[in-house]
Amino acid sequence: MKSKAIASVFFVFCIIFGFTFAEILLNPHEDFGDALTRYGLPFLTLITGILGTVFWVKGTDFEKREKTFETLLIIATVVYGICLISILFGTADRTRANAGIHASSLVPFRTIYEYFKGYNSGRISLSNACVNIIGNLLLFCPIGFILPYFFDGLRHTGWFSIVTLCGLCLVEIMQHITARGNMDIDDVILNFAGAFIVFLLTWNRRAEQLWIDVGIIDEFGSI
């Protein structure tokens, strides 16, 4: 009971932080870079969500853990989704234009190269380069765990790759159509790399056996 009480506090903070981060949606004058540099908020949301899940699942009877974890993950996914929409479609992305980077690019690694080149020449700050490169790498990392958890078929490497790449391409197209971002193949590459790394770490045979042992899934998927 004590563990669940502690978890409840963590999740209240998680939800509050997630909805607070969504204020980006209501501020059309804020740059994408300015919003994303608030790394402390999504990081704190992630930590509270993980700690809340650990405490809650640990304090739950084994037979009820899978259902409990699924409920908590749904809550966390909603919060994550709000943050993701806020970042992707909350404001027009002017930081690349301000830094002299091409607004849109279908040439692989062109934008990444330009960020490194701009940093080496002193035209782009380290924080700007890190926000756009590392930020894009981390942005879709949770997808690597969330999608295969809810859809068993996506625990197969091939299907996960196809669905994730199609989803990321659709996001880039929607950003371009709505003028709320830049259509850039490098974003797809970085986003997919982050999600795929998490997928490999959390849905290999050893990891799946761990999820079965702690009671949050009941059977192996098809890796």
For the chain, the structural domain boundaries read 1-91, 97-223
pLDDT of residue 13: 57
Mean pLDDT of 132-137: 84
Q: What confidence tens digit (pLDDT) does each residue in 107-131 have?
A: 888 888 888 888 788 777 777 777 7
Round the CA-based radius of gyration of the chain to a whole number and report it. Answer: 19
Percent of the chain predicted with pLDDT > 90: 22
Query: What is the C-alpha end-to-end distance of the chain, expressed in Å?
Result: 36
Specify the pTM. 0.75
Percent of the chain predicted with pLDDT > 70: 69
Asked whether 192 and 164 are in contact (CB, 8 A), the reply is yes
Residue 73: Cβ within 10 Å count: 19
Residue 8: is its pLDDT beyond 70?
no
Report residue 148's pLDDT band, with 50, 70 and 90 as the boundaries. very high
Q: Which amino acid is at 72?
A: L
Helix axes 65-89, 157-178, angle to 10 degrees: 30
Q: What confidence tens digit (pLDDT) does each residue in 15-40 have?
A: 555 555 544 444 444 454 554 445 55
pLDDT of residue 200: 96
